[in-house]
Amino acid sequence: MARFDRYILSQLMMLFGFFALVLVAIYWINSAVRLFDQLIADGQSAAVFLEYTALTLPNVIRQILPMAVFAAAVYVTNRLSSESELVVMQATGFSPWRLARPVLWFGLITALMMSMLTHLLVPMSHAEIERRDQEISQNVTARMLTEGTFLHPAAGITFYIRAIDADGTLHDVFLSDRRDSEEVQTFSAARAYLVNANEDPELPADPKLVMIDGLAQSLTLATNRLYTTHFQDFAYNLGALIDTSGAVRYGLRDLSTFELLLTPEEAALRTRSTPGRAIEEGNDRIAQALLCLVAALIGFSALQIGSFSRFGVWRQIIFAILLLVVVKFVEGNVTDTVRRDGTLWPLLYLPSATGMVISILLLWWAGRARRPRRPRGDTGLGAAA
């Protein structure tokens, strides 16, 4: 690699690392706040929160990588142009095609990074998150034993405990079950206990909430009538709220790319999805890597057009952003089409092809605009004479 290419590539990689670090920090903090509210509210420890935060990092990097590539390409090209470094290289005979070579290398390197994320790290982290979710869902104590907080362990369920003694006694328990669209059940008790009805350790747990000295209310929505029943003891089955089977339910994002592309029917059956979505997920992982290459080339080539201006190249930067929006617009349209019909999977590479065509046209236009124009009537014989 020529010295000029190494110089440009080092600048691109340095700025890429800076923008990636900033964007990852912003996105990661945002997701960490949501995870903190969700996990701590469910009674999980700080160690579980840190584990989940680390597992979400590969997916966060995958989301911001094309933006960091585009920002680095635009920033470096703008700085080289404003400091006349590109002008000097063009004066030595470098065409826009030659100047784009280090940007092409930069795009290929970042595309390789994206491939490692989409094919290896992100599916592995998603699968681990699903496994940990299953483990946490089986931990009834962690999910429901939280004082002074209204919890929602399942859709339509509200659970509240005022206080918990050291021996496990629950005081002033409130449970609302709104899963039935025709009837709402509400239970309140002065005391309650969580017990496991299944004494065999090899079998899944069968958690029960035993309530003492309480009131059961049943509201029939059709007639708007309320029925109340006082009880001395009552057992409520928590197994219907929490999955204790131990089986991990994986999604398409948790499977390997080879499984998605080679056996889409089996992948769809395993994840309760469709073959079209399986094919779309597998090919989308490859297309995401190509988008990194497209983002780098568009960010560079868009700034090569236009004449010199004392006000900078802000118009070219806006034009580059609009071109990237066009590529993302094409991506959004073809994704829905492929999900409906998996046989149209080649359309997933249309956004990358569109971006490559745009970059080639911009570089061709930049090279054409810089060709010296011969004055009219000059046949070149005057210089020879």
Six-digit token string for 117:
């994320």
Q: Report, as an integer, the average pLDDT of 174-191.
A: 90
Highest mean pLDDT: which range of 110-114, 143-147, 160-164, 199-203: 110-114
Q: Report, as an integer, the average pLDDT of 340-366.
A: 88
What does 69-85 look like in DSSP terms, one character per residue?
HHHHHHHHHHHHHHTTH
With beta carbons less than 8 A apart as the criterion, state whether 218 and 185 touch: yes
User: Residue 294: pLDDT above 90?
Assistant: yes
User: Residue 314: pLDDT above 90?
Assistant: no
Residue 385: its pLDDT value, please?
38
User: Residue 252: pLDDT above 90?
Assistant: no
**Measured CA distances, 300 to 15, 62, 65, 151, 310 (Å):** 14, 22, 17, 51, 19
With beta carbons less than 8 A apart as the criterion, state whether 159 and 150 touch: yes
Give CA–CA dist 65/340, Å, rounded: 28
Residue 48: its pLDDT value, please?
74
Residue 382: its pLDDT value, please?
45
Residue 237: its pLDDT value, please?
81
Q: Where are the domains of the chain?
A: 3-137+249-369, 154-237
User: Residue 42: pLDDT above 60?
Assistant: no
Q: Report, as an integer, the average pLDDT of 278-305.
A: 89
Residue 19: its pLDDT value, please?
93
User: Residue 157: pLDDT above 90?
Assistant: no
User: Residue 262: pLDDT above 80?
Assistant: yes
Please name which of 310, 255, 315 lies closest in space to residue 280, comparing C-alpha atoms.
255
Residue 356: its pLDDT value, please?
93
Q: Between residues 339 and 97, which one has the greater pLDDT? A: 97
Q: Report, as an integer, the average pLDDT of 13-30.
A: 90
Give CA–CA dist 210/370, Å, rounded: 83
| Of the listed ranges 222-231, 309-318, 354-363, the one predicted with least confidence | 309-318
Q: Between residues 381 and 102, which one has the greater pLDDT? A: 102
Q: Report, as an integer, the average pLDDT of 170-174.
A: 91
pLDDT bucket at 380, cuts 50 / 70 / 90 = very low
The per-residue pLDDT for range 74-119, each reduced to its tens digit, is 999 888 888 777 778 777 777 888 888 999 999 999 999 999 999 9
**Bridge partners, 164 (sequence order):** 170
Q: Between residues 23 and 343, which one has the greater pLDDT? A: 23
User: Residue 383: pLDDT above 50?
Assistant: no
Helix (H) or strand (E) holding 264: helix 264-271
- 80-84-86-87 Cα dihedral, nearest 10 degrees: 160
Burial of 229 (0-12, 13-18, 19+ CB in 10 A): exposed
Q: Report, as an integer, the average pLDDT of 120-124.
A: 90
Give CA–CA dist 8/35, Å, rounded: 39
Residue 99: its pLDDT value, please?
86
Give CA–CA dist 255/178, Å, rounded: 35
